[in-house]
Amino acid sequence: MSNEALYIVIALLAAFASLMAYMLFTKKAPEDNQPITDTTDPFALYLGNAVCGAVVLDASLKIAQINTVLCEYLGLTPAAVIGTLFSKHIASADQAIWQELTAHSDASGSTAQIALLTANNKQIQGKLSLQAIPANQELLVTFENQHQLLQYATEIEYRKTHDELTGLNNRKALEAYLNKTFESQSLFSKPIAMIYINVDQLKVVNDTCGHIAGDELLKQLVHILKNTDVTYDYLARVGGDEFALIKEDATIEQAEEVAEIIRSTVEDISFSWDDKNFRQSLSIGVALSSPRLCTITEIIGAADAACEQAKVAGKNRVHVHKDTRAASEDSRHQMRWVSRIQQAFIEDRFELFFQPIVALHHSDQYVHYELLIRYRDENNRFVSPNAFLPAAEKYGLSTQIDLWVLTTALDFLASNPEHTYKLQCCSINLSAHSLSSHQTRSAIAQLIIGCGFPPEKVCFEITETSAIKNLDEATAFIEEMKLIGCRFALDDFGTGFSSLGYLKSLNVDYLKIDGAFIRNIVHDKIDHAMVTAVASIGKEMNIATIAEFVENEEIKSTLSQMAVDYGQGFGFAKPMPLNDAVAYYNK
């Protein structure tokens, strides 16, 4: 948007402020020569912060009320101007314009360019507008300071492309810069290096000392980035804890050297706050433009992916993106799945399977299972969700799948009341996107409220990774749905590096111990000790534990001698079509 367009928008806002003022002035008059801003009135509060100045003139065109903005323009107090002729504050050269504006009884709606005279005899150019207040036989006059409007327009334009905290360019500005740079590239141009930086310890600082401390850490890191002895062409803040640095005409060796210098420089510093010290580190991804990375989305995505690899590998390191055919083919494979998923909803190609969850320490009939989605291909073969869920997650289709699963499951349970009566728990998986989407969470709550059977029979499974990534949303959603009656399971427990710390924040009913600890539990002492520890923690917190991937009799026998409550896996039963569940549990 150009400055001229911004000026028009701000002028319209100023006109709106005039309307607010009109509404205000017809309510009540101020007392004791006070400005017309009244913090208890929303219209007055708006006007007090508006771009335009405003006065109310009585029948003799003397100032009856004035707002703070116009007082500041004139450099006078309300007491100094109230009761004076408004014409006294108009430049002599424009007196004739004022006389012409007010000469007629139908002056309402008139406008003119005019100069006001300040206390120190300076002139302020602006637009004057008149509006009659018939109820009080008064006149509302608003004044738009054009110089200030242009300043506002410039400031808004700046804020559109800059990060408020650090003053750096933002992601939008980065994309514009890259777009311009790519347009100027030729076949003989050297590559553009994208260096993607993640601040490893920002969340720790925020959680320990608060966001003010985190903001200060970011400002200190920006100072270091600006003053590090490396050369680059562009620096931007692209996320809460992420920065991007561009080096044009670079080789991979040059880009990696820049990244390593930045990483090692930050590694040597410690951030201090309230007598607490935090060693700092950066995870950095590097990507170079190429025939396969020749768009903004591709190069940012590649550098971001490389940065993620640096974090996964242990943080505080530099990882260079490998531009391989395999990566490109994987992306094309996922795009093909996007089309197939969308078509599957139309052609009804998704089906629900169930896999029993079995009580390990009592023989009473226990009806508990997890629902699993399958895709039925053109040859009527069922495809595992591992094939299509990554594409659904990446391209925003996972919430649609989650709602389909929930709706289909609730329809099945409502259609089989005898089975549902015996059912202890039906577990339904939710994706990270559903946890972070307010709209999807609201839809889930409405579906459960209207399900027609006790909500405690429904258990939502969320992975440990998605819960930690969306901790605030996950915590709020769990509490909201528990008030309705639903239960929750934390899936793949043990995969996160800080599981126990976050567990205290999540009010769950089940811990599903990740299969990585179960597969070798018979022969691996460490796995055995880990499962024993999780089971013990579950008992202390009154959270039931479920062992996943129970695939043979040896594992079943080992688990039965431990404090794990339930088991799930091929050793008990393979997933079966949901329509077979009634017959299965009637055996």
Do 249 and 129 fall into the same domain?
no
344-364 pLDDT, tens per residue? Answer: 999 999 999 999 999 998 767
Q: Which of 114-128, 132-146, 165-179, 220-234 has the lowest mean pLDDT?
A: 132-146
The most distant pair of C-alpha atoms in the chain lies apart, rounded to whole Å, by 102
Q: Under a CB-based contact definition with an 8 Å cutoff, are residues 351 and 577 in contact?
A: yes
Do 343 and 318 fall into the same domain?
no
Report yes or no on 253 lying in a domain. Answer: yes
With H, G, I as helix, E, B as strand and everything else as coil, classify residue 244. strand
Do 86 and 35 fall into the same domain?
yes
d(CA 506, CA 72): 53
Do 145 and 291 fall into the same domain?
no
pLDDT at 274 over 50: yes
Question: pLDDT above 90 covers what percent of the chain?
Answer: 54
Q: Which of 11-15, 29-33, 236-240 has the lowest mean pLDDT?
A: 29-33
With H, G, I as helix, E, B as strand and everything else as coil, classify residue 452. coil
Report yes or no on 123 lying in a domain. Answer: yes
Do 314 and 339 fall into the same domain?
no
Q: DSSP string spanning 423-445? A: EEEEEEEE-HHHHH-HHHHHHHH
pLDDT at 58 over 50: yes
Q: What is the pLDDT of residue 17?
A: 45
Give me the chain's average pLDDT, please.
Answer: 85
Q: What is the pLDDT of residue 19?
A: 44
Do 348 and 318 fall into the same domain?
no
pLDDT at 224 over 80: yes
Tokens coding 537: 């923690």
d(CA 339, CA 361): 46
Do 109 and 169 fall into the same domain?
no
With cut-offs at 50, 70 and 90, classify the pLDDT of residue 46. Answer: very low
Report yes or no on 158 lying in a domain. Answer: no
Last-in-domain residue among 132, 152, 172 = 152
Question: Looking at residue 536, which CATH number applies to its domain?
Answer: 3.20.20.450
With H, G, I as helix, E, B as strand and everything else as coil, classify residue 313. coil
Q: Are strands 423-430 and 458-463 parallel, antiparallel or unpaired?
A: parallel
386-429 pLDDT, tens per residue? Answer: 999 988 987 889 999 999 999 999 999 999 999 999 999 999 99
Q: Which of 44-53, 145-154, 172-181 has the lowest mean pLDDT?
A: 44-53
pLDDT at 190 over 60: yes
Q: What is the pLDDT of residue 316?
A: 92
Question: Looking at residue 220, which CATH number applies to its domain?
Answer: 3.30.70.270
Do 420 and 501 fall into the same domain?
yes
Q: What is the pLDDT of residue 544?
A: 95
Q: What is the pLDDT of residue 37?
A: 42
Last-in-domain residue among 95, 123, 152 = 152
Q: Under a CB-based contact definition with an 8 Å cutoff, are residues 504 and 542 in contact?
A: no
- Domain range enclosing 176: 163-323
Q: Are strands 487-493 and 510-513 parallel, antiparallel or unpaired?
A: parallel
Do 532 and 402 fall into the same domain?
yes
Q: Under a CB-based contact definition with an 8 Å cutoff, are residues 52 and 36 in contact?
A: no
pLDDT at 169 over 50: yes
CB under 8 Å to 100, separation ≥6 — which residues?
Answer: none
Do 501 and 565 fall into the same domain?
yes
Last-in-domain residue among 152, 187, 210 = 152
Q: Under a CB-based contact definition with an 8 Å cutoff, are residues 37 and 65 in contact?
A: no
Q: What is the pLDDT of residue 189?
A: 65
Q: What is the pLDDT of residue 524?
A: 93
Do 426 and 569 fall into the same domain?
yes
d(CA 384, CA 329): 20
With cut-offs at 50, 70 and 90, classify the pLDDT of residue 237. Answer: very high
User: How far are the Cα atoms of 334, 372, 392 from residue 379, in angstroms, in the given order?
Assistant: 20, 20, 22
pLDDT at 341 over 90: yes
Total structural domains within the chain: 3
